[in-house]
Amino acid sequence: MTLFSPEQLATLESQSIELPSWAFGNSGTRFRVFGTEGTPRDVFEKVADAAEVNRLTGLAPSVALHIPWDKIDDYAALRRHAEDLGVALGTVNSNTFQDEDYKFGALTHEDDRIRNKAIAHHLECIDVMDATGSRDLKIWLAEGSNYPGQTDMRSRQDRLNDSLRQIYARLGENQRLVLEYKFFEPSFYHTDVPDWGTSYAQVATLGDRAMVCLDTGHHAPGTNIEFIVMQLLRLGKLGSFDFNSRFYADDDLIVGAADPFQLFRILVEVIRGGGLNNPDVAFMLDQCHNVEAKIPGQIRSVLNVQEMTARALLIDHDALSAAQRANDVLGAQAVFMDAFYTDVRPALAEWRESRGLPADPMAAYAASDYQATIEAQRVGGTQAGWGA
């Protein structure tokens, strides 16, 4: 416990990481989606699983929804269900990539009928937000093209801007729009919002409540992601994170699993730029537990973010600044790495216990009967997944 100051512990205590409802459903690759016992059949069961993650970690007080995967008739009932379980409903994610009409675009489509349909879908998402009390509408666009010449990229940009303006205009005064960018996939030649610059240029035309969403898996190989974190915080436009990790493409692995040091560097810049526990910057997971257990996968993920935040908080900023000012490269690096290499796990475990949480949430879950119960109960029906 003496590892952390009271201020650092207060910071850690305030940390919250939103869970995506779809992380509890099945996911996979174009080659195969493997099912698992106990997988939720509907959004109520997804929220229950998310609440279990929060119960054991104290880190995940809200759940993001995906429309239409989580579309239901009575959002008020879902909201009560969530609140009963100690969590809130969070970001609403739109989906414009699974309707036949959207094969060649949605918010960028040349055909007004289709584009208006996609806009209407987003307005419907805002209706959901009104019902769930959600603040953020997150827009990830799968749109693009597979072949050079297939489409006119320039006019798509203009139509995108028009579509976003219409959606933005519908937002409530306490609601926001966050626009996610992605390097590639499912389009393989061009993507309409491929980089932070495009997302930034687009949202900058909308207004103060339009922000950029940074998914840590959506960059070109070698991209210095923490630089982008720094820049977007500096520009006042970092609206939210989608955390995951990757070795190759958008692998959607557990955050911190592929390159822990990268996660450390990202969190250092978050703290440096005032983005931690800043209501303007939402922390969220976006992952696919293709081969690992889903609920423990989410527990592991939020713990990874917590532990790495704790390491980042340990940087001795006075020593670091002094070494930086002196251009003492190795000295500065030593201060930086000292925080990374510090084993924060025992202190965090102790601190969790002091707050009435399990010292080891992974072990606590394994020792509980939650998994056995859901495997016994969730028989029949259709397991939730991306295709649903």
Within 13 A of 3's CA, how many CA atoms are on the CB side? 21
Where does this chain touch its own copies (CB under 8 A) — which range of 41-49, 71-79, 221-229, 369-377? 221-229
Cα 230 from chain centroid? 18
Site string for its own copies, 130-169 (x = CB under 8 A): ------------x--xxxxxxxxxx--xx-----------
The verdict on 22 binding its own copies (CB under 8 A) reads no
Nearest to 70 by CA among 52, 102, 50, 92: 92
The verdict on 127 binding its own copies (CB under 8 A) reads no
Where does this chain touch its own copies (CB under 8 A) — which range of 61-69, 291-299, 349-357, 369-377? 291-299
- Cα separation, 53 vs 63, in Å, equals 11
Neighbours of 341 (CB within 10 A): 10
Where does this chain touch its own copies (CB under 8 A) — which range of 9-17, 60-68, 169-177, 325-333? 325-333
- Cα separation, 147 vs 96, in Å, equals 20
Number of shown-chain residues binding its own copies (CB under 8 A): 101
Q: According to CB under 8 A, which one of 8, 97, 322, 359 is a site residue for its own copies? A: 97
Nearer to its own copies, 70 or 226 (CB): 226
The verdict on 30 binding its own copies (CB under 8 A) reads yes
Query: Contact 311/264 with Cβ under 8 angstroms?
Result: yes
Instruction: Measure the CA angle with vertex 254, ends 90 and 185; round to 5°.
Output: 80
Nearer to its own copies, 35 or 381 (CB): 35
Site for its own copies in 169-188 (CB under 8 A): 183-186, 188
Neighbours of 76 (CB within 10 A): 11
The verdict on 220 binding its own copies (CB under 8 A) reads yes
Nearer to its own copies, 76 or 227 (CB): 227
Q: According to CB under 8 A, which one of 73, 100, 318, 369 is a site residue for its own copies? A: 100
Where does this chain touch its own copies (CB under 8 A) — which range of 23-31, 41-49, 52-60, 116-124? 23-31
The verdict on 386 binding its own copies (CB under 8 A) reads yes
- Cα separation, 50 vs 90, in Å, equals 12
The verdict on 113 binding its own copies (CB under 8 A) reads no
Cα 161 to Cα 91, 164, 229, 256: the distances in Å are: 22, 5, 23, 34
The verdict on 333 binding its own copies (CB under 8 A) reads yes
Nearer to its own copies, 30 or 173 (CB): 30
- Please, which residues have CB within 8 angstroms of residue 346's CB and are 6 or more apart in sequence? none
Nearer to its own copies, 105 or 134 (CB): 105
Site for its own copies in 356-375 (CB under 8 A): 362
The verdict on 15 binding its own copies (CB under 8 A) reads no
Cα 366 to Cα 76, 184, 241, 378: the distances in Å are: 32, 37, 29, 18
Where does this chain touch its own copies (CB under 8 A) — which range of 41-49, 116-124, 128-136, 254-262? 254-262
Q: How far is the CB of 147 from its own copies (least distance, A)?
A: 5
The verdict on 350 binding its own copies (CB under 8 A) reads no
Residue 351, Ramachandran bin (φ over 0: left; ψ between -120 and 50: alpha; else beta): alpha
Q: According to CB under 8 A, which one of 2, 6, 7, 31 is a site residue for its own copies? A: 31
Backbone angles phi, psi at 257, to 5 degrees: -80, -35
Cα 351 from chain centroid? 26
Nearer to its own copies, 176 or 265 (CB): 265
Nearer to its own copies, 79 or 272 (CB): 272
Q: According to CB under 8 A, which one of 43, 126, 177, 335 is a site residue for its own copies? A: 335
Query: Contact 136/91 with Cβ under 8 angstroms?
Result: yes
Nearer to its own copies, 55 or 300 (CB): 300
Within 13 A of 62's CA, how many CA atoms are on the CB side? 20
- Cα separation, 4 vs 20, in Å, equals 30
